[in-house]
Structures are given as structure tokens and as C-alpha cells.
């Protein structure tokens, strides 16, 4: 009797997770395994002639200067994440106080996150225009004669993208922090105040450690999401000028869907996977030092 | 947004991989399909309606819809439907995926040799030598040679594609300058300086034909040396880089490339609004210049050939010749009907396309009608002599860009780095050569 009941329970469980497992299997696991196989072939999209090439793609990757360039660009791109989290925290703390138009301001900060990426791209392109753009207009009016070229030079373009990304992620980081700040118990803050802690100390020694699980969550999800992003860069610069904004995910995309070189693109995407894995591992290990549950 | 993008990216990846698995099973079927002789396909029997789908990159309202409407009226047995794909990476991927998954694609238009070659290699473009009732070479002239692949036609090149420098005739007259019939880049540079006013520019280039001067030289001499290594260190490559860089940095007569790229400068609009008096572009300019609603204009447009890098005019070849290479899907079961339509299209059925700058190449097509369609009621806003010269009379031999997309991209990246001042001239050439060599080694 109990045995039967257990069996039925188990079966029911499988039935419930079935549809989603089917989705994961069909749309994720099988394609992933398939791309792992492609890594060892010279498969070009459409082309029926496929040869097994062993480790040739990996050898090519190791020697490919564009791979290292894109890796470096990816690292610069990722730098936007902690900056955005930091600013998001400050904004959240400020908006958590009793200030005027709090709700409106929260809405405004969150706007970028729900705006269409292409629209975002075009607005920033106009803002960043080296000659007629309002940003450089402002800089010139306050006496800077040679404002940066932003997107239009190979040295500054990746940082310009960073600025856009920080701005884009800010609203999301802020909202999550706002929720976390609600959880901070007022008793702790009051106790600290009675003990004579200054506002800066409260922020650093009490609030920041208490929201550290949130910071950790934002850091992991932010880094993973950022490393996989390519749409915004594709819309703004297509990886240029030169190859100065070609990040790894964009390089995968170009190889796959511009050159149809699926074998090499698969190799690159597995390299991307290894990078994500390493970053996540480092964070899991590192979290013990600074995340307090 | 990025969530959406990620989702879209993932979906397309999954679709692509689904397609791959689906295809690896019947890889053989693709091959046999390509080998089957066209005449073996089902003949057209009366009373039965054949439905064809033609994929092309021109917006339907710029001609194609008028073309298929005219055909459908005359031929109740063969009804053609036009499907537009955008001629960019995503659009071409869409077309290729449609063919891979066996959706209805009977005819498709190729715009570059690079794409054509991929479609031939995968067995999707039908070898047209099976059809003997239409001599492509005789109809289209000797320029069709550029579209022969391994000695065979896998499509019909249907348009005369012309590339030119469009000139603001009024500005030239005011400066006392002639409309040139042949010129060098140095001469163009002088024009640009003379025509530039204040902070404005004297010369603009569309990004698509930007590097054509390089291909003009190298398509003749070959992209590789006798020993199989890259020839991107040809001295004229260097002189092109220097000339343009001088125009950007010293003369300030053409926009710095970085500024043009990242602001996505609308070059047609800059030219047609009268801001910049010279524009290096192709026949598709007519699509905008005939449109006075969006691009009001108060000057006459004259046309000059694209300038050359070589000293002697006799050594020069210019990009152009024929374009819009229409292929029949080798897996289509309606090849005979598609061929009927294609012949009619090439021999003048495509006339309405001229309003978008696409002039029929066939000698049997009526050039006067084409010119009428091309200019519409705006004929008096063009300098007709120079227009006819660059489009029809110029005897300069032509080439079609044949470089693989990978090489075009790496070359572009390196010259962008140079024009943006990130690397020196010699470094640029050295990098172009070494990256090209690397590519050649991989693709031996």
C-alpha cells in the first residue's frame, strides 16, 4: 500500500517536471552535446561535406589573435558589472531614505532595463556623437577642448560600451537592492545609532554585510548575463571600429552566422563556457570570505 | 533587452542546430538533387497552376511586386510570389535556413559571389547549363564572365550594376569644375578640397563600396603572389590608405571613418540635402534620389566613374558589370516553370525594377523603357549625359568582388585601425598580410 503510494507519487513528480525537462533536453542539452561534437569537425552551415578534423579547431583557437583580443574586450566589458552593482547599491540606499519623489525616481532608474535594446543603442549613438553629440557639447562648454571620441575611436569604444551597460543594468541592481534593504532589520540600525555609529559606519559595517548575499547574487547573475550578451554591441558598433568592441560572444556569432563556420564557432562557444565556469567557480570559492548569510 | 536578445540568440541557435540534425540524415538527398537534370523535373501541364516563390532583397514596393503582378496577369498557370529577405547577415541566414529545411524557395537572388559560392557548394544553386534555349553569355554580354563559376552559370546575372561618384552639379558649376569622365584619386582629392565649404566635407563614401579601389587593383593582379602568400602589401594598397588618410586628417575633406561608422552617417541624405557635394555610391542611390518626399533636393545630380589608383587609365578596371544573380533552387520540383519565369524576367520583365536603380542587362531588354523607369518624372533633375556615360557607355572593364567575407572583414578591421590612428601605415599592411596568410593556410 505505502509502496504503491510512493510509486504514484514518484510518477506524478516525473509527469510534472516532464514538459520542462523535455524542453531543456530538446532545446538545451541535445544542442549543447551537438555543438560539442561539431567542435571536432570543419562543418560549414549548409555545406554537406563535413570532415572530422580532430583538434584542429582548438589548435586554431590557441593561435587566433582575434580570440585573445575578444577575450580582453570581454574582460573590459565585465568590469561594468561591479561598477553598476556599486552604483546601484548607493542609489538604492539613497532612494530607501525619506526623500521627495522617491517612487518616480525609482521608476526612472528602472526605465532603461525595460526599454528596447535597439532604441537604447540609437539614443546612445546620438549622445556619444563625437562632434554634434550633447555629451561632448557639454564637455566642450565646460572647457575641455579635446573630449574623448567615445564610440568613434578604437581606444575608447569599449569603455563607452561599458558606460552604456552600467546605465542599462543600474535599474535592475537598484530594485534588487531596494528589496534587500527592506529586509535589514530596523532594530539593528537603531541599536547601532544608540551605540553612536556614524551613518557611514552603519552603511559599511552593518548594511553592506547584511546585503552581501544580494551582492553575491547580482555579481554572479550579472557576470553571466553580461558575458553572454552581444545584442547591444551588435546594434551599436557591430564589433568595430576595427575590432575594438568584438567581445567573445559577438565573435562566436560572427563565425557562426556571418561566416557559417559552425565548427570553429562551436569551439569558441565552448571556450566561452569554460570562461563562465571559471568565473563562477572563483566566485563560489571567494564568497566564503565576504558573503554573510 | 539582453534577456530578449539572449532568448532570440538561443532560439536561432537551436533552430540552426535542429536544422543541422535534420539535414545530416539526408545529406545524400542534397547531392542527388543537384545532379538531377533540370529537364527531368515535372513539365508544365495546362490547367494546373504552378506556384513559385522568389526570394529577393529588394523591398516589394521598389519594383518586384510590379514585376510579379505583371507576370501573374499574363500567366495564370504559373503564379509567382515574391518574398523579401533583407540582404544582411540575418536575412541571408534566413534564406539559407529556408532552403535547408525545404521550405518553398524556387528562385533566389544572390548579391555577392561569396554567398553564391556557399550556395553552390551546398548544392542549392542549380547548374543552368541543362537549359539550352537561352544563351546567357550572348544575352548579357562579356561581363557575364565574372559570374561564371568553374566555367558554369549557376544563375543569371540580370542587372547592370553601376558604381559611381554622384556629384552635385550646381556645386561643381559654382566652383568651375568639370564633370570628369576618368580621374585618379589624387584628382578627386583636389576636387574635394575645392568643393568643401567651412566645416563641411567635400566628399563622402557609402560603406559598401568603400574598399573597392583595393579590389579594383587586386582583382586584376590576384590577391595572392606566385608562392601563394597574400598580396595585400601591393604598393597601391598603401597609396590608397595614405590618400584617404590625408583627406581625413590633413584636408578634413572627408569624414574620419570612426565618426562616420559610429554615428551611422546617413550618406545618401547628407548628399541629397546638399550638405556634401560628392558621394561614392552605386545605382541604389536612385531609390532615394527619385524620392523627393523624403529627400527634397534643389540641385542637379551628375555622375562620374569611380576614380582609379593606377596612373594609366588603360590599366583600370572598375567594380560593376552585372549583378542580381538569380538562381533556381536545385531542390525545387518546379524548375521548368522557374526557368520560364527567369527568362522572361531577365529579358525585360524586370523593367519596373529600374525605378530602384536596377537596369536590365539583357540586350533584348528595352533600354529606353528602363531609362524611363529609372528616372520617372525626375529626369530633368539629373545630368543625363553623364548618367548615360557611367551606366551604359563607359567601356572600362569591370570586376565583381570575389573575396571571401572573412578576408573582407579582417581587411576592414585593419584599415579602420589605421584610419582611426590606432596603428601606423606599415603596421596595418603587415597585419593585413599576416592575417590574410593565416586565412589562406586554413583554407587551402
- A152 shares a domain with A20: no
CA distance A43 to A50: 5
Determine contact, residues B216/B309, Cβ cutoff 8 Å. yes
For residue A1, what pLDDT band results from cuts at 50, 70 and 90? low
| Structure confidence at residue B315 (pLDDT) | 84
Provide Rg for chain A, Cα atoms: 24
DSSP readout, A235-275? HHTTT-STTTT--HHHHHHHHHHTS-BHHHHHHHHHHHHHH
**Helix count and strand count (H, E) for chain A:** 16, 0
Q: Is A110 inside a domain boundary?
A: yes
| Structure confidence at residue B45 (pLDDT) | 52
Would the CB atoms of A256 and B16 count as touching at under 8 Å? yes
DSSP readout, B123-168? T-BPPGGG--S--HHHHH-GGGGGG-BTTB-SSEEEEE--EEEEEE
What whole-number percentage of chain A has pLDDT above 70?
A: 99
| Structure confidence at residue A267 (pLDDT) | 96
A20-33 mean pLDDT = 92
CA distance B344 to B361: 13
Would the CB atoms of A125 and B262 count as touching at under 8 Å? yes
What whole-number percentage of chain B has pLDDT above 90?
A: 62
Q: What domains does chain B contain, in order, with CATH numbers? A: 30-161+322-365 (3.40.190.10), 163-319+401-442 (3.40.190.10)
**Does B207 lie at the interface with A, CB-CB under 8 angstroms?**
no
Q: What is the pLDDT of residues B128-141, one digit of tens each?
A: 999 989 999 888 98
Q: Is A37 inside a domain boundary?
A: no
- A67 shares a domain with A1: no
pLDDT higher than threshold 80 for residue A269: yes
**Does A91 lie at the interface with B, CB-CB under 8 angstroms?**
no
Q: Which residue has the higher pLDDT, A183 or B240?
A: B240
- A135 shares a domain with A4: no
**Does A242 lie at the interface with B, CB-CB under 8 angstroms?**
yes
Q: What is the pLDDT of residues A123-142, one digit of tens each?
A: 898 899 888 889 999 999 99
Q: Which of B:248-277 have CB within 8 Å of A? A: 256-259, 261-264
Q: Is B424 left (phi over 0), alpha (psi -120 to 50) or beta?
A: beta
- A94 shares a domain with A1: no
- A64 shares a domain with A1: no
Q: Beta-strand (E) ranges in chain A?
A: none
For residue A262, what pLDDT band results from cuts at 50, 70 and 90? very high
pLDDT higher than threshold 50 for residue A53: yes
pLDDT higher than threshold 70 for residue B3: no
- A216 shares a domain with A129: yes
Determine contact, residues B257/B245, Cβ cutoff 8 Å. no
User: In the predicted model, what is the mean pLDDT of chain A?
Assistant: 90
CA distance A47 to B31: 11
- A212 shares a domain with A94: yes
Query: Chain B contacts of A50, Cβ < 8 Å?
Result: 24
**Run of H or E including B79:** strand B78-84
* CA nearest to B326, candidates B278, B303, B358: B358
Q: How many independent structural domains does chain A possess?
A: 2
Of A116, A130, A228, nearest to B259 by CB-CB distance is: A130
Three-state SS annotation for B393-420: HCCCCEECCCCCHHHHHHHHHHHHHHHC
Q: What is the pLDDT of residues B264-283, one digit of tens each?
A: 889 999 999 999 999 999 98
What whole-number percentage of chain B has pLDDT above 70?
A: 89
Q: Is A281 inside a domain boundary?
A: yes
Query: Chain A contacts of B258, Cβ < 8 Å?
Result: 130, 149, 152-154, 241
- A130 shares a domain with A268: yes
pLDDT higher than threshold 80 for residue B166: yes
**Cell numbers that stand for B93 in this block:** 541566414
Q: Is A96 inside a domain boundary?
A: yes
Q: What is the pLDDT of residues A148-165, one digit of tens each?
A: 888 888 889 999 999 999
- A200 shares a domain with A84: yes
CA distance A151 to A162: 11
* Bridging pattern class, strands B78-84 and B50-56: parallel
Q: How far is CA A102 from CA A57, A175, B443, in A?
A: 54, 13, 61
Q: What is the pLDDT of residues B278-319, one digit of tens each?
A: 999 998 899 889 889 999 999 999 999 999 998 888 889 999
| Structure confidence at residue B168 (pLDDT) | 96
Q: What is the pLDDT of residues B18-62, one digit of tens each?
A: 444 434 333 333 333 333 444 444 445 556 789 999 999 999 988
Question: Which residues pair with residue B230 across a beta bridge?
Answer: B224
Q: Is A98 inside a domain boundary?
A: yes
CA distance A41 to A52: 4
Residues 6+ positions from B342 with CB-CB distance below 8 Å = B107, B156, B326, B328
As a whole number of Å, the end-to-end CA separation of chain B is 41
Q: Which of B:14-33 have CB within 8 Å of A? A: 14, 16-18, 20-21, 23-24, 27, 30-31
The length of chain B in residues reads 444
Question: Which residues pair with residue B304 across a beta bridge?
Answer: B165
A242-267 mean pLDDT = 93
- A82 shares a domain with A13: no
- A134 shares a domain with A10: no
Question: Which residues pair with residue B322 across a beta bridge?
Answer: B160
| Structure confidence at residue B28 (pLDDT) | 36
Q: Is A73 inside a domain boundary?
A: yes
Domain of A161, CATH number, reads 1.10.3720.10
CA distance B180 to B195: 14
- Separation in Å, CA of B244 to nearest CA in chain A: 16
Location of C-alpha cell 559595517: A205
- A169 shares a domain with A213: yes
Q: Is A85 inside a domain boundary?
A: yes
* CA nearest to A133, candidates A116, A119, A149, A155: A149
Q: Is A50 inside a domain boundary?
A: no
B116-122 mean pLDDT = 92
B330-339 mean pLDDT = 93
For residue B6, what pLDDT band results from cuts at 50, 70 and 90? very low
Determine contact, residues B255/B199, Cβ cutoff 8 Å. no
pLDDT higher than threshold 70 for residue B90: yes
Q: What's the domain range around A83?
A: 59-290
pTM for this model (two decimals): 0.85
Q: What is the pLDDT of residues A200-214, one digit of tens each?
A: 899 999 999 999 999
* CA nearest to B165, candidates B35, B338, B285: B285
| Structure confidence at residue A152 (pLDDT) | 87
Amino acid at each position: 500500500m505505502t509502496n504503491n503510494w510512493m510509486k504514484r507519487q514518484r510518477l506524478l513528480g516525473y509527469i510534472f517536471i516532464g514538459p520542462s525537462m523535455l524542453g531543456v533536453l530538446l532545446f538545451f542539452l541535445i544542442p549543447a552535446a551537438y555543438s560539442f561534437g561539431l567542435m571536432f569537425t570543419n562543418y560549414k552551415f549548409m555545406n554537406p561535406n563535413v570532415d572530422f578534423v580532430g583538434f584542429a579547431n582548438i589548435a586554431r583557437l590557441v593561435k587566433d589573435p582575434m580570440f585573445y583580443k575578444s577575450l580582453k574586450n570581454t574582460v573590459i566589458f565585465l568590469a561594468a558589472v561591479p561598477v553598476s552593482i556599486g552604483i546601484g547599491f548607493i542609489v538604492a540606499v539613497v532612494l530607501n531614505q525619506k526623500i521627495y519623489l522617491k517612487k518616480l525616481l525609482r521608476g526612472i532608474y528602472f526605465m532603461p532595463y525595460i526599454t528596447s535594446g535597439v532604441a537604447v543603442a540609437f539614443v546612445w549613438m546620438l549622445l556619444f556623437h563625437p562632434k554634434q553629440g550633447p555629451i561632448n557639447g557639454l564637455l566642450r562648454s565646460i572647457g575641455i577642448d579635446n573630449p574623448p571620441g567615445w564610440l568613434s575611436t578604437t581606444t575608447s569604444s569599449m569603455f563607452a560600451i561599458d558606460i552604456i551597460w552600467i546605465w542599462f543594468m543600474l535599474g535592475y541592481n537598484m530594485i534588487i537592492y531596494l528589496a534587500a534593504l527592506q529586509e535589514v532589520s530596523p532594530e539593528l540600525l537603531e541599536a547601532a545609532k544608540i551605540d553612536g555609529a556614524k551613518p557611514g559606519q552603519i552603511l559599511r559595517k552593518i548594511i553592506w554585510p547584511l546585503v552581501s548575499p544580494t551582492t553575491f547574487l547580482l555579481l554572479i547573475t550579472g557576470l553571466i548575463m553580461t558575458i553572454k550578451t552581444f545584442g547591444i554591441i551588435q546594434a551599436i558598433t557591430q564589433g568595430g571600429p576595427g575590432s575594438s568592441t568584438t567581445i567573445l560572444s559577438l565573435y562566436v556569432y560572427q563565425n557562426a552566422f556571418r561566416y557559417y563556420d559552425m565548427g570553429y564557432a562551436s569551439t569558441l562557444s565552448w571556450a566561452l563556457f569554460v570562461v563562465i565556469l571559471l568565473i563562477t567557480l572563483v566566485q563560489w570559492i571567494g564568497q566564503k570570505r565576504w558573503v554573510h548569510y | 533587452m539582453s534577456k530578449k536578445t539572449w532568448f532570440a540568440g538561443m532560439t536561432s541557435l537551436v533552430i540552426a542546430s535542429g536544422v543541422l540534425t535534420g539535414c545530416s540524415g539526408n545529406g545524400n538527398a542534397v547531392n542527388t538533387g543537384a545532379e538531377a537534370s533540370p529537364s527531368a523535373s515535372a513539365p508544365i501541364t495546362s490547367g494546373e497552376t504552378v506556384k513559385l516563390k522568389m526570394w529577393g532583397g529588394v523591398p516589394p514596393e521598389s519594383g518586384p511586386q510590379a514585376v510579379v503582378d505583371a507576370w501573374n496577369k499574363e500567366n495564370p498557370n504559373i503564379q509567382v510570389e515574391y518574398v523579401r529577405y533583407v540582404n544582411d547577415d540575418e536575412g541571408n541566414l534566413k534564406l539559407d535556413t529556408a532552403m535547408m529545411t525545404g521550405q518553398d524557395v524556387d528562385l533566389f537572388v544572390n548579391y555577392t559571389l561569396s554567398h553564391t559560392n556557399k550556395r553552390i557548394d551546398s548544392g542549392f544553386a542549380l547548374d543552368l547549363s541543362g537549359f539550352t534555349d537561352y544563351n546567357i553569355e550572348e544575352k548579357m554580354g562579356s561581363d557575364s564572365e565574372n559570374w561564371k563559376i568553374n566555367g558554369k552559370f549557376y544563375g543569371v546575372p540580370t542587372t547592370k550594376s553601376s558604381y559611381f561618384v554622384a556629384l552635385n552639379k550646381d556645386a561643381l558649376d559654382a566652383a568651375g569644375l568639370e564633370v570628369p569622365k576618368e580621374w585618379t584619386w589624387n584628382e578627386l582629392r583636389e576636387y574635394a578640397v575645392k568643393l568643401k565649404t567651412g566645416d563641411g566635407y567635400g566628399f563622402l563614401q557609402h560603406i559598401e563600396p568603400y574598399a573597392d579601389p583595393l579590389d579594383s587593383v587586386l582583382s586584376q593582379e590576384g590577391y595572392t603572389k606566385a608562392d601563394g602568400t597574400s598580396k595585400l602589401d601591393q604598393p597601391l594598397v598603401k597609396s590608397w590608405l595614405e590618400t584617404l588618410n590625408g583627406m581625413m586628417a590633413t584636408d578634413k575633406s572627408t569624414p574620419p571613418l570612426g565618426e562616420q561608422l559610429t554615428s551611422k552617417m546617413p550618406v545618401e541624405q547628407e548628399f541629397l540635402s546638399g550638405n556634401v557635394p560628392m558621394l561614392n555610391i552605386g545605382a541604389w542611390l536612385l531609390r532615394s534620389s527619385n524620392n523627393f518626399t523624403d529627400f527634397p533636393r534643389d540641385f542637379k545630380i551628375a555622375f562620374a566613374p569611380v576614380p582609379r589608383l593606377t596612373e594609366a587609365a588603360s590599366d583600370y578596371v572598375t567594380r560593376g558589370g552585372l549583378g542580381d544573380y538569380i538562381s533556381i533552387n536545385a531542390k525545387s520540383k518546379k524548375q521548368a516553370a522557374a526557368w520560364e519565369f527567369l527568362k522572361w524576367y531577365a529579358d525585360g520583365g524586370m523593367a519596373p525594377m529600374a525605378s530602384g536603380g536596377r537596369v536590365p542587362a539583357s540586350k533584348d531588354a528595352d533600354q529606353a523603357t528602363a531609362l524611363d523607369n529609372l528616372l520617372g518624372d525626375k529626369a530633368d533633375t539629373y545630368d543625363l549625359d553623364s548618367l548615360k556615360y557611367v551606366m551604359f557607355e563607359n567601356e572600362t572593364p569591370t570586376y565583381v568582388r570575389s573575396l571571401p567575407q572573412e578576408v573582407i572583414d579582417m581587411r576592414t578591421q585593419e584599415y579602420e585601425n589605421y584610419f582611426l590612428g590606432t596603428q601606423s601605415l606599415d603596421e596595418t599592411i603587415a597585419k593585413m598580410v599576416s592575417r590574410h596568410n593565416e586565412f589562406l593556410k586554413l583554407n587551402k
